[in-house]
Amino acid sequence: MARGWWVALSTAWLEWLVLGASHELMLFASVGILLIGLDDLLFDAFWLGTRGEARAAATDTVPLAGTIAVFIPAWDEHRILAAMLRRALAAWAGEDVRIYIGCYPNDAATLFAISPLVAADRRLRLVVNERDGPTTKGDNLNRLWAALGEDERAEDMRFAAIVLHDAEDHVHPGEIALYRRHLTDAAMVQIPVVPIIARGARWIGGHYGDEFAEAHGKEMVVRSRLGMPLPSAGVGCALTRRTLALLAIERGGDPFRCNSLTEDYEIGMVIGAYGLRARFVDETGPTGDRVVSRGAFPDRADAAVRQKARWIAGIALAGWDHLGWPGSRRGVMAAQSDRVWLARWMLWRDRRAPLAALVLLAAYAGLFLTAAGWLGRAVLGWDAVIVGDAMPILLALGAMLLVWRLAMRSLFAGRCYGWREGVWAVPRAFVANIMAMLAARRALVIYWRMLRSGEVVWDKTEHRESDMTPDVAAAPVMAR
């Protein structure tokens, strides 16, 4: 008898815990999903409302003349860097470019891998950091900037612009010509980034394609149309030399922030804070294909979590410390209150990732506990879950917003990769949610360590040649 009473009490306590927790979690998640969903819906309305506006077209002015420098920071990239350089040299055979490669004295494998190319082609400039690596990507880029200045003084010339790329990128032949046309009246130009969805990596690698397809098919497009600050993707991005010189003056000679995990993102936002014009350009080249920067992204869950955690920590957490909010800096943006609030909204969207991850975690936990409550009702005779009058409305609104969000994700993935990938984008949204939650947790740990130690470590992603790597054309060599 006493045993039965104890079992009944334990079951009643478990019933109260499961039903109460599921209700509170679902309520929190429903409100969060509604607010974030309405935020996305409003942005979609901006995209739809501005679709009739003309896309950024090539200006009628004379294209930007002069040599263009390409910065490629590298640490432990011996597996892929040589192939990337061959692709770039072949694609830009007729362009006036000089490629600066930043390496480290303790990275012998990368130095040996690219030294034959550097020795054979005068368009390549190897820059070895004074310190052992890895430092940070920003520090590496600053060393390339210093080397560029040394070359300018030695050769009595001035570079026209600087292009940012990574060691895994597949550059487009029409990329340099595009920059020359648009940098005549813009301080920064960003082209779309298209992740390569490799064979056998449809789930992890594929969700990057879905996210970038929507971000660079809608988010960047709307920001550019509205004249808002554009975050640089760090690849497929060009800046005029004057722009980097301005940032270098502000930062004591180094244009890139050394203590940042996302120095590329921050540089775009600082340019906007100064009122300088940035432009996102999505156009086709002479052969009819899109001028984009393609690259391999992680195809393993652990690597994807590490990379996304770095982005969240750099943009949503440390970036808040470094950039503040629009209007807090001097410049044109500070003088126009309506545009300040619009820019703050855009920045909020960049920084909401930790909150969105918390809402997702509550939603999945609430669904699990709700299912446990239904099971307890069927097996143990628990009472029905009390949802209240507002919960069904919140759940219905959330479901409609979810359908809309999945439809938009599928639309942009399909436009970028074809209808099959557009269909796959729907189930891949679950993978994206799991990656986001795990990355947000890791980002908090990274940020906490940064605050305690004051040190930033280049936690770079390991790259290898993708299975979808195109054949490398024979690159004409410009002898030294």
How confident is the model at residue 457, as a pLDDT? Answer: 76
Q: Find the helix packing angle between 390-417 and 204-214, rounded to 10°.
A: 90
How far is residue 386's CA from residue 327's CA, in Å, rounded to a whole number? 46
How confident is the model at residue 387, as a pLDDT? Answer: 59
Rg from Cα positions in the chain: 25
How confident is the model at residue 274, as a pLDDT? Answer: 86
Distances (CA, A) of 416 to 175, 297, 399, 410: 18, 16, 26, 10
Cβ(240)–Cβ(332) below 8 Å = no
Cβ(98)–Cβ(123) below 8 Å = yes
Lowest mean pLDDT among 75-79, 136-140, 164-168, 319-323: 319-323
What are 207's two structure tokens?
């969700």
How far is residue 425's CA from residue 404's CA, in Å, rounded to a whole number? 13
How confident is the model at residue 92, as a pLDDT? Answer: 97
Which range, 243-252, 434-443, 453-462, is most confident?
Answer: 434-443
Q: Which residue has the tokens 């980002």?
A: 443
Vertex 180 angle, CA 142 and 57, to 5°: 125
Sign of the dihedral defined by the CA atoms of residues 262, 263, 268, 272, in that order = positive
- Per-residue pLDDT at 60 exceeds 90: no
pLDDT over 70, % of the chain: 85
For the chain, the 3-state helix, strand and coil shares in percent, each to the nearest 5, are 60, 10, 35
Q: How confident is the model at residue 327 (pLDDT cuts 50, 70, 90)?
A: low
Query: What pLDDT digit, counting tens, does each position of 448-477 carry?
Result: 998 888 788 777 777 665 544 544 344 444
How confident is the model at residue 108, as a pLDDT? Answer: 96
What does DSSP assign to residue 333?
G
Q: Average of pLDDT values for 171-196?
A: 96
Q: How confident is the model at residue 55 (pLDDT cuts 50, 70, 90)?
A: low
How far is residue 321's CA from residue 337's CA, in Å, rounded to a whole number? 22
Q: How confident is the model at residue 127 (pLDDT cuts 50, 70, 90)?
A: very high
- Per-residue pLDDT at 29 exceeds 80: yes
List, in order of start, the domains of the chain with CATH numbers. 15-50+353-453 (no CATH), 68-351 (3.90.550.10)
- Per-residue pLDDT at 214 exceeds 70: yes
Count, in order, helices (H) and strands (E) of the chain. 15, 10
How confident is the model at residue 282, as a pLDDT? Answer: 95
Q: How confident is the model at residue 331 (pLDDT cuts 50, 70, 90)?
A: very low
Q: How confident is the model at residue 52 (pLDDT cuts 50, 70, 90)?
A: low
Q: What is the DSSP string of 413-435?
A: HHHHH-HHHHHHHHHHHHHHHHH
Distances (CA, A) of 52 to 46, 60, 95, 216: 11, 22, 34, 18
Q: Average of pLDDT values for 224-238?
A: 94
Q: Which strands, in side-by-side order, build the sheet including 169-170?
A: 169-170, 293-296, 193-196
pLDDT over 90, % of the chain: 67
Query: What pLDDT digit, counting tens, does each position of 360-379 carry?
Result: 999 999 888 888 777 776 66
Cβ(172)–Cβ(91) below 8 Å = yes
Lowest mean pLDDT among 13-17, 135-139, 306-310: 13-17
- Per-residue pLDDT at 382 exceeds 90: no
How confident is the model at residue 337, as a pLDDT? Answer: 65
Which amino acid appears at position 139 of this protein?
D
- 255 contacts: CB under 8 Å, gap ≥ 6: 141, 142, 145, 244, 245, 247, 248, 267
Q: Which residue has the higher pLDDT, 48 or 329?
A: 48
> What is the average pLDDT score of the chain?
87
CA torsion 367-369-371-376 (nearest 10°) is -170
Q: How confident is the model at residue 13 (pLDDT cuts 50, 70, 90)?
A: low
Q: What is the DSSP string of 348-373?
A: HHHH-HHHHHHHHHHHHHHHHHHHHH
Contacts by residues 208-212 (CB-CB < 8 Å, ≥ 24 positions apart): 208/297, 208/298, 208/304, 209/297, 209/413, 209/416, 209/417, 209/421, 210/409, 210/412, 210/413, 210/421, 210/425, 210/428, 210/429, 210/432, 211/432, 212/416
Strand partners, 237: 164, 190
- Per-residue pLDDT at 59 exceeds 60: no
How far is residue 89's CA from residue 403's CA, in Å, rounded to a whole number? 45
How far is residue 461's CA from residue 195's CA, in Å, rounded to a whole number? 14
- Per-residue pLDDT at 243 exceeds 60: yes
How confident is the model at residue 324, as a pLDDT? Answer: 83
> What burial class does residue 60 get, using C-beta atoms within 10 Å of its C-beta: 0-12 exposed, 13-18 middle, 19+ buried?
exposed
Q: Average of pLDDT values for 316-330?
A: 77
Query: What pLDDT digit, counting tens, does each position of 252-296 carry?
Result: 899 999 988 999 999 999 998 888 999 999 999 888 899 999 998
Q: Find the helix packing angle between 301-312 and 204-214, rounded to 10°.
A: 30
Distances (CA, A) of 464 to 10, 77, 87, 435, 461: 54, 8, 15, 21, 10
